[in-house]
């Protein structure tokens, strides 16, 4: 939600109610509720298919700072494609940024893995590395697990928007 600031007139006498409204509305717009978006889920070789799984996204933007959250839960008819996975961002990122967030991968039957989310070269989507060593591998079917129905990927990122 965005509010346009009031245009003040020279010599105008501002009453308490008007000033309170201007300050309150502008302040509230900075901390408005998250905005929903539907991320796309792609892969570097063959794209996955969501099937009856779910993918949701939400974000907040303050100036050029964007906070975004993506949640993927696979279903019984999901297919996982081949190659490294990518998830679209709600707002294009400024170029040349480093690692931007966290990654959680939940296996419905065997625990979880964590990693880092990173900005892909395109600046419009993110991928992830799973593992805590220099040998960490990119997020894909087969890493950190062979995905099945009920498995989850949660990503949270903060980055600078292109504009």
Tens digits of residue pLDDT in 45-79: 999 999 999 999 999 988 888 999 999 999 999 99
**DSSP 8-state symbol, 123:** S
- Closest by CA position to 155, among listed 123, 121, 122, 119: 119
- Are the C-beta atoms of residues 137 and 130 closer than 8 Å to each other? yes
Cα gap 88→90, rounded to integer Å: 7
| Average predicted confidence (pLDDT) for the chain | 86
- Are the C-beta atoms of residues 159 and 104 closer than 8 Å to each other? no
* Secondary-structure breakdown of the chain: helix, strand, coil percentages, each rounded to the nearest 5: 10, 40, 50
Take residue 45 and report the two structure tokens written for it: 């070789």
Q: Report the greatest alpha carbon distance in the chain.
A: 69
Length of the chain counted residue by residue? 163
Instruction: Give the global pTM.
Output: 0.80
Per-residue pLDDT tens over the stretch 138-160: 899 988 889 999 999 999 999 99
35 pLDDT band, cuts 50/70/90, is very high
Opening angle at CA 141, ends 135 and 145, nearest 5: 65
- Predicted local confidence at residue 31, as pLDDT: 66
Residue 134 Cα distances to 61, 113, 145, angstroms: 32, 16, 18
The four Cα atoms 91, 93, 94, 96 give a dihedral, to 10 degrees, of 180
């Amino acid at each position: 939600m965005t509010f346009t600031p009031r245009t003040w007139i020279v010599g105008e006498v501002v009453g308490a109610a008007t000033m309170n409204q201007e300050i309150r509305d502008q302040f509230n717009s900075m901390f408005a509720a998250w905005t929903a978006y539907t991320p796309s889920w792609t892969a570097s070789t063959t794209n996955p298919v969501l099937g009856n799984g779910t993918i949701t996204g939400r974000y907040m933007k303050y100036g050029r700072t964007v906070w975004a959250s993506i949640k993927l839960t696979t279903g019984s008819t999901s297919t996982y494609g081949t190659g490294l996975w990518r998830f679209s961002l709600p707002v294009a990122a400024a170029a040349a940024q480093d690692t931007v967030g966290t990654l959680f991968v939940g296996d419905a039957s065997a625990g979880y893995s964590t990693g880092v989310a990173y900005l892909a070269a395109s600046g419009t989507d993110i991928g992830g590395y799973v593992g805590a060593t220099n040998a960490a591998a990119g997020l894909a079917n087969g890493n950190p697990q062979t995905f099945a129905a009920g498995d989850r990927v949660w990503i949270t990122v903060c980055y600078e928007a292109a504009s």
